[in-house]
Amino acid sequence: GAGVSQSPSNKVTEKGKDVELRCDPISGHTALYWYRQSLGQGLEFLIYFQGNSAPDKSGLPSDRFSAERTGGSVSTLTIQRTQQEDSAVYLCASTESPGLINQPQHFGDGTRLSIL
């Protein structure tokens, strides 16, 4: 497809389990972002990847959260030992190139994560 693709669309898991969320950015987009939206809140930045540069991890809420981007394309966000407060919609976005200033980020439909 032409847009940002995320999987799974929904994930329900028990507290303490690990989860992996996947993002396929728009083809040719070099920058990739992860955000999360908790109930009734705005989107909260988590992490940003650009090419081969070191990612900006400044938004990751704890060391249970990690992300990687393989081959400059697909990204996975991993949450270890999930807690109930991790329940949220996790959104991925991409942009063509941050070298071109003032580009909007294009979002996928998100993964709704529910921790029981």
Q: Where on the chain is the footprint of another protein (CB under 8 A)?
A: 4, 6, 31, 33, 35, 40-45, 48, 50, 56, 58-59, 91, 93, 95, 98, 101-102, 104-110, 112
| Residue number, 44 or 80, with CB nearest to another protein | 44
Interatomic CA distance for residues 97 and 62, integer angstroms: 28
Label residues 29-52 b or e (16+ Cβ within 10 Å = b): bbbbbbbbeeeeeebeebbbbbee
Least distance between another protein and beta carbon 109 (Å): 5
The nearest distance, CB 72 to another protein, in angstroms, is 16
